[in-house]
Structure 1
Amino acid sequence: MDTYTVLLVDDEEEVIQVIMRKINWEGLGFSVIGYANNGVKALEMVEEFQPDVVMTDIKMPYMDGMELAGHIKADYPATKLLLFTGFDEFEYAKEAVHLEVEEYILKPVNSVELTNVFTQLKIKLDQEIGEKRNAESLKKYYMDSLPLLQANFYATLLEGRIREEELDRYLSDYQISLSGPFFCCLVIHTSSSQIPEDMNPLLLAASVEKQAKEYLGEKWRARCFSYLGKTILIAQLSGENEMSELTDDSDRFCRYAHRIIGANVTVGIGQVCGSILELSQSYSSAREAISYRVLYGTSRAINIQEIAPHERNNPGSSHEGELSHLFKTIRLNEPPEIAQAVHEYLGSISFKEKSLQQHHLDVMELLSEFCRFAANNDIVLGELSKDMGKLYGRVLDMGPDTLEKWLVNISVSLHEKLLNARTKSTKSFVEKAKDYVHNNYVNEELSLDRICEVLGVSNSYFSTIFKKETGKSFIGYLTDYRMDRASRLLLETNEKSYIIGKKVGYTDPNYFSYVFKRRFGVSPSKYRTEYRESEK
C-alpha cells in the first residue's frame, strides 16, 4: 500500500500539534513529513520534500495560505491542497476556485471530519497513481513495440495498402519521419548458396541487415527492416540526381559485406519516386532489378533505371502472375526456358470446363498483353503490327499445339529483339564515352566520376559495361588514348615533352614521362630520338 506525505502549515504550533495527535496518520496511509509556521518556510519545505498533500491555514505572517496555494499550484500541480480556516474566512477562501483546493475545513478542527477528508483523499490519490502507472506501463509497452509496428507499417506501405488519408496518422502514431522529398526502395538479397563455413544463414542475414544500417543508413536517412526474407531499405534523397551516388554507395556496400562477413550480397535499386505512397512501385522495380543478377552478376548493385530504361511492362490481365512470369522469362532466359514458360502459361489458362467465349477472351487478352509488352519495350515485331482483327481471327482458329508453337516463336522473337536492343543500347553507351574521351582528353580533370556525371549513370554500372565491351577499364582506355596521341605528337612535331604532356592532359611533366615510359618502355625524348634515327 502506498503511503503519502503531508506537510502541515499554521502559525499556531499548538493547532498543528493537536492535528498530529488526533489523527491516525499511518492507519490512513499518510505520514507527516514536517510542519511550518508561515508560508515562506512552507514553500521552502515544499521545494525540498515535494509532499503529496499540503494542509495550510490562510492567515499567516510573511505569506498567507492563499498565496502559498497559488505558488504550489503553479510549480507543483500534482500536490493536493487542503485549507483550514476560521468561519469569517470561509467565503473568501471559497472564491479561490481556480486553486483547485480539495477541501475547506473550518476551525476548530474536528478529528472525525479530518479523518473522513483524508480517507477520501487517499482513495483519490490511489486512483490517480494507479492510472498514471498504468499509462506509463502502456507507454513503455508501446515504445518497446514501436520497432515492430514501424516494420509492419513499412511492409503495408510496400504492398500499397496505405490510403492517403491514413498516412499522416500512421506517421505520427509510429513516430516515423519520411521527409524525402524523393524516395527509393532498395532490396538486399543475400545468397543462400554461398555462405561462409560455420555460419548460420539466419545470422548471416541479420549481420547483413546490421551492416546495411551502419553503412547506408545515416547518409541516406534510410529506414531498414526485414520483409519476405530480405532486407529492405527506404532511402531518402534530396534530388533525383542523387540516384547515381546511391547506386555507387550500394555497390561499395556489396563489396564491403563480402570482405567483412563473407556474404554474397546483391542490392536491387528501384525507381525513384516523389511520394511515400508510390514506394510500392519502387519496391516492385527493385525486386525486378534483383532478377537481373543472372545477367549482370552478383555481389553488386543493380539499378533498374540503368539496366532496363525501356524494359517496362504492366500486364493487367486476370492471369497477371502467369503473364508476369512469362514476360520475365522472355527478358532474362534462353529459348528452352521460354518454351517451357509458354507451355506453363497456356496450361494455367486451359481447363476443360471453359466455354468457347471464355477461350476467345483469354486469347484476345493474351494478344493484347503481348502487343502492350512490345510497345512498352519499343519493339516493332511484324507479326504483332499487322491488322489486329485478322490476327485475332487467325489465332482464334489455332488448335492448342499450333497456338503453343506460334506463341513460342513470338516469345523467342521478342527475346531476341530485347537482347539486340540491349546490346545496341550498351554499345551506343560505350561509344558515347569513347567520343567524349576523344573530344576531352586534353582536360586533366577528365575522370571516371566526370564521364559518369555526363552520361548520368553510376560508376559501378558504367565500369562493368565499359570493361565488358572494350576489355579495358575507363582509366586504362583514357590513358592509352592519351599516350597514343602523345606518341604521334612526339613524332610529328618538335615540341618539347612537357608541352606535349599538357596537350594530352598531363600538367606534371614528371608524371607524364612516367606514364609514357610505362606504356612504351622508354622516355618521351628517347622514343622520339630512336624513331628518327631509325628513319635515317
Structure 2
Amino acid sequence: MNTYTVLLVDDEEEVIQVIIKKINWEWLGFSVIGYANNGVKALEMVEEFQPDVVMTDIKMPYMDGLELCKHIKAEWPATKILLFTGFDEFEYAKEAVHLEVEEYVLKPVNSVELTNVFIQMKTKLNQEISEKRNVETLQKYYLESLPLLQANFYSTLIEGRITEAELPKYLSDYQIAFSGPFFGCLVIYTSPSHVPEHMNPLLLSTAVQKQAEEYLRKKWQAKCISYLGNTVLIVQLKDEKEASELTDECDRFCRYAERIIGAVVTVGIGRVCEDILDLPLSYDSAREAVSYRVIYGAPKAINIKEVAPREIGRSGPMNAGKLSNLFKAIRLSPAQEITAAAAAYLEHLSVSAKSLQQYHIAIMELVSGLYKFATNNNLDVEDCLGDMRKLYSRLLDLEPDVMGTWLTKISLSFRDRLISARSSSTQSFVSKAKEHVHSNYADEELSLDSICKILGVSNSYFSTIFKKETGNSFIGYLTEYRMEQASRQLIETDEKNYIIAKNVGYTDPNYFSYVFKRQFGVSPSKYRVEHTKK
C-alpha cells in the first residue's frame, strides 16, 4: 500500500492543528510531513520534501496561495493541490482553473468532507502511479529490445526494403542518427580456413566483429550488424575523398586482427553514396570487393572503386541468376571456371525457356547483359561484340553446341581484356607516381601519403600495386631515385654535402649521409673522392 505525503499551508496554526487531529491520515494512506504559515516558507518546504499533495489557504502573508500554486505547477507539475478558503473567496478561487487545482474545500473544514476528498485523491494518485509504472515497464522493455530492432532495421535497409516515406519514422522510433552526409557499407569477411588452435570459425568471426566495432565505430560513426555470416558496418563520411582514408584504416584493421586474434580478414569497401536509401548498392559492391581477395590476397582491405572503378552496382537484368555468376567468374576466375560458368548458364537457359518466345527473350537479356558488362567495365563494346541487333539475330540461329563455343570464347575474351585493362590502369598510375618522383624528388614533403592523395587512391591499394609492378616499395623507389640524383651531383658539381642533401629532399644532412652510406656502402664525401679521381 502506497503512503503519500501532505504539506499543510495556512497562516492560522489553529486551523492546521484541527485538520491534523480531525483526519485519520494513516487510515487514508497519507502522512503529514509538516506545515507552513506563509507561501514563501511553503515553497521552501515543497522544494525540500516534494510532497505528493499541498493543501493551502489563499490569504497568507508574503506569498498568497494562488501565487504558491503557480510556482508549484511550474516546477513540480505532478504535485496535487487542494485549496481551502472562506466562502467569500470561493468564487475568486474557482476562477483560477488554469492552475489545475484538484479540489476546493470551504472553511470551516468538515472532517467527513475532507476525508472523502482525500479518498478520491488517493484513488487518483494510485491510478497515476500504476499508469506511470506500466509506461516505465514498457519503456524498459523497449530500450532492452532497441539494439535488436536497430539491427533488424539495418538489415532491412541494406536489403533495399525501406521506402523513403517509411525512413523518418524508423529513424525516430529506433533512435538512429545518420548525419552523413555520405554513407557506405563495409563487409568484413573472416576466412574459415585460417582458424587459430582452440577456436572455432564462429567464435573467431564474433571476435573479429567485436574488434571491428572497437576499432572503427567511433571515428566512422559506424552501425554494426552480423549479416549472412559476415560483419557489415554502415559507415558515415564527411567527404567522398575520405574513402581512401577509410580504406587505409580498414587495411590497418586487417593486420591488427591477424596480429591480435590470428584471424585472416578481408574488408570490402563499397561505393560511397549520398542517400542512405542507396546503401543496398554500396552493400552489393562491398560484397563484390571481398571477392577480389582471390586476386589481391588477404589480409587486406579492398575498395571496389579502386579495383573496379567503372563497374556500377548490378551486372544486368538477370543479376541474381547464372548470368551474374558468369560475369563474376569473368572478373575473378581462371579460364576453366569461366568455361564451366558459361556451360551452367546455357544449361539454365535451355531448362528455363519453356517456349520459343521465352528463349528469344532470354537471348535478348544475354545480349543486353553482355553489352552492359562491357560498358560498365570500360571495354570497347563494338570491338567486343559488334552490332547489337546483328548479334541478337545471329545468336537466335545458333545450335546449342555452337552457342556454347561462342559464349565461352566471348567470356574468355572479356577476361583477357579485363586483365589487360586492369594492368594498363595500374601501370598508368604507377607511371604517374614515377613521373611525380622524377619531378618532385627534392620536395621534403613527398611521401606515400602525399602521392596517394594526388592519385586519389588508398595507401594500401597503391602500395600493393606499386610493389607488384616495380618489385620495390614506393619509399624504396623514392629513396633509390634520390640517392641516384645525389650521387650524380656529388660527381658533377662542387656543392657541399648539406646543399646536395637539401637538393634531393633531405633537411637533415646527417640522416642524408646515413641513407647514402646504406645505399652505396661509403659516405658522400668518400664517394665523391673515389669517383672524381683523375
Same-fold status (TM-score > 0.5): yes
Distance 2:229 2:307 in 1: 25
Alignment of 1:47-446 (within 5 A): 47-312=47-312, 314-318=314-318, 320-351=320-351, 354-380=354-380, 384-446=384-446
Specify the alignment match of 2:521 in structure 1.
521
Separation in structure 2 between the aligned mates of residue 439 and residue 5 of structure 1, nearest angstrom: 85
For 1:409-443, what per-residue CA distance to the aligned partner results, in whole angstroms no more than 9, with x for missing partners? Answer: 11111111111111111112211111111122222
Q: Deviations over 1:464-484 (max 9, x none)?
A: 111111111111111112222
Q: Secondary structure at the match of 1:240?
A: coil
C-alpha displacement at 1:73, in angstroms?
A: 2.3
Q: CA deviation at 1:85?
A: 2.3
Find the aligned partners of 2:61 and 2:530 in 1 and give their Cα distance.
114
Query: Residue 185 of structure 1: SS of its match in structure 2?
Result: strand
Deviation at 1:350, TM superposition (A): 2.3
CA distance in 2, matches of 1:63, 1:387: 95
Cα 1:352–1:224, aligned 2, differ >3 Å: closer, same or farther?
A: closer
Distance 1:66 1:390 in 2: 93
Specify the SS of the correspondent of 1:501: helix
Query: Displacement, 1:142?
Result: 1.8
| In structure 2, distance between residues paired with 1:252 and 1:319 | 33
Per-residue CA distance 1:166-208 (angstroms, 9 max, x = gap): 2222222222221111122211111122121112433322322
Q: Residue type matched to 1:178 in 2? A: F
CA distance in 1, matches of 2:507, 2:14: 100
C-alpha change, 1:36 and 1:349, in structure 2 (3 Å) is same
1:463-520 deviations in Å (ceiling 9; x for gaps): 1111111111111111112222222333334444444333333343332222222122
Q: What is the DSSP-based 3-state SS (H/G/I as helix, E as strand, rest coil) of the residue aligned with 2:409?
A: helix
Q: What amino acid does structure 1 have at the position aligned with 2:287?
A: R
Residues 382 and 115 of structure 1: is their aligned pair in 2 closer, same or farther, counting only changes over 3 Å?
closer
Residue pair 2:9, 2:56 contacting (<8 A) in 1 also: yes
Which amino acid is 1:112 matched to? V
Match of 1:30 in 2: 30
Q: Is the Cα–Cα contact under 8 Å of residues 326 and 345 in structure 1 kept in the other structure?
A: yes
Q: Is the CA contact (8 Å cut-off) linking 1:150 and 1:174 kept in structure 2?
A: yes
| Alignment RMSD (CA, Å) | 2.2
Name the counterpart of 2:457: 457
* Aligned-pair CA distance for 1:10: 3.2
Query: Which runs of at least 4 in structure 1 moved beyond 4 Å after TM superposition?
Result: 381-384
Bigger shift: 450-459 or 159-168? Answer: 159-168
Cα drift, residue 304 of structure 1: 0.7
CA distance in 2, matches of 1:60, 1:526: 104
Contact 1:40/1:63 (<8 A) preserved: yes
Which has the higher mean CA deviation after the structures are superposed, 283-292 or 438-447?
438-447
CA deviations on 1:9-50 (whole Å, 9 max, x unpaired) are 334444334433433322222222233344344333322222
Q: Which amino acid aligns with 1:392?
A: Y
3-state DSSP class of the match of 2:165?
helix
Distance 1:428 1:43, change over 3 A: closer
* SS at structure 2 position matched to 1:51: coil
| CA displacement, residues 88-129 of structure 1 (integer Å, 9 cap, x when unaligned) | 222122122122221222233333322221221111111111
**TM-score by structure 1 length?**
0.94
Structure 1 residues 382 and 70: CA distance shift in structure 2, 3 A: closer
Amino acid at match of 1:513: S
C-alpha change, 1:94 and 1:351, in structure 2 (3 Å) is same
Tell me if structure 2 keeps the 8 A contact 1:313–1:373: no
* Residues 530 and 315 (structure 1), Cα distance of their counterparts in 2 relative to 1, 3 Å cut: closer
Q: Which runs of 5+ in 2 are unaligned?
A: none
User: How big is the shift at 1:330?
Assistant: 0.6
Is the 1:40–1:62 Cα contact (8 Å) retained in structure 2?
A: yes
- Contact 1:11 / 1:61 at 8 angstroms: preserved in 2? yes
Gaps of 5+ in 1: none
The amino acid that maps onto 2:211 is Q
* Conservation of the 8 A alpha-carbon contact between 1:360 and 1:396: yes
Amino acid at match of 1:250: C
SS across alignment from 2:350: coil
CA offsets, 1:278-314, max 9 Å, x none?
2221111111111100100111110111111124463
Give yes or no for contact 1:180–1:237 (8 Å, CA) kept in 2: yes
Name the TM-score, length of structure 2 as normaliser: 0.94
Q: Measured at CA, do residues 498 and 401 of structure 1 come closer, stay the same or move farther in structure 2, by a change above 3 Å?
A: same
Report which stretch shifted further, 383-392 or 42-51: 383-392
| CA gap 1:409/1:381 in 2 versus in 1, 3 angstroms | farther
Q: Does 1:480 align with 2:487?
A: no
Q: Does the aligned pair in 1 maintain the 2:385–2:391 contact within 8 Å? A: no
Amino acid at match of 1:298: A
Partner of 1:5: 5
Residue 403 and residue 40 in structure 1: after superposition, are their counterparts in 2 closer, same or farther (change >3 A)? same
Deviations 1:244-301 (A, max 9, x none): 1111111111111111222211111111111222222111111111110010011111
Aligned residues: 534
The 1:457–1:17 alpha-carbon spacing in structure 2 relative to 1, beyond 3 Å, is same
Q: What SS does the aligned partner of 1:219 have?
A: helix
Cα 1:519–1:46, aligned 2, differ >3 Å: closer, same or farther?
closer
Q: 1:530 to 1:124 in 2, by over 3 A?
A: same
Is contact 1:313–1:376 with CA below 8 Å preserved after alignment?
no
Shift of 1:381: 6.0
Identity %: 70
Pairwise CA distance, 1:134: 1.4
Q: 1:7 to 1:523 in 2, by over 3 A?
A: closer
SS at the partner of 1:231?
strand
**1:117-174 C-alpha deviation (Å, 9 max, x unpaired):** 1221111111111111111222222222222222222222211222222222222222
Rounded to whole Å, the distance in 2 between the matches of 1:443 and 1:154 is 47
Q: Secondary structure at the match of 2:413?
A: helix
Q: Give, as a single letter, the amino acid of the residue that structure 2 aligns with 1:339.
A: T
Aligned residues of 1:313 and 1:372 also touching (Cα < 8 A): no
CA offsets per residue over residues 369-405 of structure 1, 9 Å max, x none?
Answer: 1122112222236675333333223211222222112
Deviation per CA, 1:452-472, whole angstroms, max 9, x where unpaired?
Answer: 112111111111111111111
The alignment partner of 1:233 has SS state of strand
